[in-house]
Amino acid sequence: MRGGAARRRAAGRGGRGPVGFVAQTARTLVRTGIVGPMRPRVLGDVVRTAYRYGPALPTMLGIAAARYPDRPAVIDDHEVVTYAELRRRADTAAAFLHHHGRLRRGSKLGILCRNHAGFATATLGGAAIGADLVFLNTEFAGPQLAEVLARERVAALFQDSEFDEAVDRAGFAGPRVAADLPLREDGGTPAAPAVRGASRIVMLTSGTTGTPKGAPRDVRPLALAVPAIGMVDAMGLRSGDPLVVLPPLFHGFGLAYWTLALALGSPIVIRRRFEPEVAWQLVSQHRAAALFGVPVMLQRMLTVPRELRRECDTTSLKAIGVAGAPLGPALADRLLDEFGDVVFNLYGSTETGWSTFATPADLRAAPGTIGPPAQGVTVRVLDPNGRRLPPGETGTLHVGSRMTFSGYSGGGGKAVVDGLMNTGDLGHVDEAGRLFVDGREDDMIVSGGENVFPQEVEELLARHEAVADVAVFGVPDDEFGQRLAAHVVPVDGATVTADELRAHVRANLARYKVPRDVVFTDDLPRNATGKVLTRQLKS
């Protein structure tokens, strides 16, 4: 696909116009079972809920609870919670937060939970009273938590009991609710008043280079629906299909697919902590239709002994969604070989939301691609002067959609060119309109006058048979200004030398891309969403 056709695909999957999208949406809603016949009593409940809350998360819960009251909504380590029960718990939480926590529309509710039903209760209860929802990283230490709570002006906390000490050290003095313990109903507490309209949420950036920034935005299900329709179509998902979500729900990736489960009236299968063997078992036990994980989680699933993997039936999978970090070509190939043509590579950021997705066909044709833009999203590759670059040339990825944020809660934001937000990622587009991420702008180094993208070297080393995991980044160099350093986790039982790995790079890439430093290690430090904490490796 070349010329104008490639550009139309790059502007939106297939270049589909508004009329075509409306027709596709109608077909998808009927095919998935999101829209279907309802008994008069159920229809009345749906209409009342939609009128009460408008286009918001509580409406999605109310519709699912009215249509599928006995269907599991959340399956976690300890319990199965139906949609009817989740609705009751959310109503109880809303009443408690309003009358005892003194929260109102626009008050900030912090949510500090691992993946379990309490997260859903806290989120939906807070949304029902119009509170702004601040999703907190469960890896925060006391000082970092204190800084974020103060900056975001959090008024109350829904938190797991295990974080009591961290919250105490943060000096938080507001109301606290134990998210992992039953919230006792008080017969004398009236229901919370109806609040119509979407809450705002505050997502935190990954914080790999410092204290995470807050990125507030409105929760607008209709805005999310535009790109989601094409993805649901491509994945072939239906209402009631179980979804296994491995990443933390406080992260945008995990949160997005819990929201998708709500929209589908599907069970979400989650665990407090990720264990690769258990992930296989969850897919098999629950006949999951989709599995969502960050690359390092899926990579670790592939290290589970083959005999244990073969005990788990994964033929129910229609889709494996990968996001949160770059999916390298080597891992993409391994996933396709293991699971078949069900792997989708999703790209987005805290600031821009979900932007592109690559289908299995895209990944077969071009392993590592992030695919063309999703429906309703524009992605362009621009040079430093804001000019659009042709296929094959590397520039900065700029995104435009209804999901981009308006600025950080502490002030500042991302640069915008012609309505498109700078993602900070460097990439290129091929002749077929497929996009690729080549690295981060702030990761690119200049070594001896040459621009070097560490990700390219990292992906090459990841293909080496003796390398289980690797991180490549720049470090200062007295002679060349900067040089590449590679931290390598060898495959168990493998023997490989630094010179062998340098020779592997030298045989495939230019001389100036060969890492001068090769450090062997047992593990790479990662945050809760799987991104390598390079600042720890540099210290």
Which amino acid is located at 53 in the chain? Y
pLDDT in tens, 23-71: 777 788 788 888 888 888 888 988 988 888 888 899 999 999 999 999 9
DSSP track, 364-379: HHSTT--BSBPTT-EE
Residue, of 61 and 7, whose pLDDT is higher: 61
pLDDT in tens, 90-133: 999 999 999 888 899 989 999 999 999 999 999 999 999 999 99
**Distance between CA atoms of residues 44 and 51, nearest Å:** 11
Residue-range domain boundaries for the chain: 16-185+193-325, 443-538
Phi, psi of 233, rounded to the nearest 5 degrees: -60, -50
Quote the strand ranges of 29-116, DSSP E.
72-75, 80-82, 108-112
Phi, psi of 450, rounded to the nearest 5 degrees: -105, 135
pLDDT band for position 352 (cuts 50, 70, 90): confident
Phi, psi of 507, rounded to the nearest 5 degrees: -75, -15
pTM, entire model: 0.88
DSSP track, 401-429: STT-----TTS----EETTEEEEEEEEEE
**Distance between CA atoms of residues 463 and 465, nearest Å:** 6
Tell how strand 214-218 and strand 200-204 pair up: antiparallel
pLDDT band for position 4 (cuts 50, 70, 90): very low
Distances (CA, A) of 78 to 31, 94, 138, 287: 33, 23, 19, 19
Q: What is the mean pLDDT of residues 145-170?
A: 94
Classify burial at 99, counting beta carbons within 10 Å of its beta carbon; exposed 0-12, middle 13-18, buried 19 or more. middle
Tally the residues of the chain.
539
**Distance between CA atoms of residues 147 and 220, nearest Å:** 28
Class of domain 16-185+193-325: alpha beta
**Distance between CA atoms of residues 113 and 250, nearest Å:** 8
Q: What would be the CATH architecture of the domain defined by 443-538?
A: 2-Layer Sandwich (3.30)
Is residue 246 within 8 A of residue 274, CB to CB? The reply is yes
Is residue 352 within 8 A of residue 423, CB to CB? The reply is yes
